[in-house]
Amino acid sequence: MLALPNILTILRIVLVPVFALAFVLPGEAARLTAFAVFCIAGLSDALDGLAARKLNAGSDFGRMLDPIADKILVAVALMMLVAEGSIREFSLNYGVRGLLKLVPALIILSREILVSGLREFLAGAKVSVPVTVFAKFKTALQMIAIGAMILTPLADRFFPGVPAVSYNAFAYGMLWVAAALTVYTGAVYFRAGLQHLHGPVP
């Protein structure tokens, strides 16, 4: 449990309440702190996998805890953004079409719940589903999109030449792409479950 990859995974979980606290505090310094904590937590996701491979320190504990840590971080960040209004406010400003801006967040959260159940089922059935390149890219893009939305109140300071609407559209666009990849990678797990239950799926 005290191997470096596991320590990084535990650190990611510990940083989640720190991120949430910094997020709700007023002021630019608090928002920058929340952004920095989120980035560190997201980076630890890549580092723990790299450390496990380089140090040959993979463990059942790490394989169990790593996806849980990822889901907690993403779910809390999305819920904080929705509660604050970063997603909802942008949606309301653009009418019914804008309501679609909520969809990628709902897709991502729903997929995480679905995949958690499928992973538990497949693990019990001793069916292994390897992590694909698409899944890794999805995770990276998801983190970048959420990080960009966390910085939305400070976008004019960091990107003075970019209109706020363009910045928001870019952030939400990345989240939509991440949501699409989320559906695809979730379908891979679902297909594996169907294959186990009913044989090969055409």
Q: What is the DSSP string of 160-187?
A: TTS-HHHHHHHHHHHHHHHHHHHHHHHH
Considering the entire predicted model, what is its pTM?
0.79
Using CB atoms within 10 Å of the CB of residue 140, give its burial: 0 to 12 exposed, 13 to 18 middle, 19+ buried: middle
Name the residue with higher pLDDT: 200 or 161: 161
User: pLDDT of 65-79, one tens digit each?
Assistant: 777 888 888 889 988
Q: What architecture (CATH level 2) is domain 4-194? A: Up-down Bundle (1.20)
Express as a percent the part of the chain with pLDDT over 90: 11
At residue 26, φ and ψ (nearest 5 deg) are -75, 160
User: HSE on the CB side for 42, CA within 13 Å?
Assistant: 24
User: pLDDT of 126-176, one tens digit each?
Assistant: 666 666 677 778 888 888 989 988 988 888 787 887 777 788 788 888 888
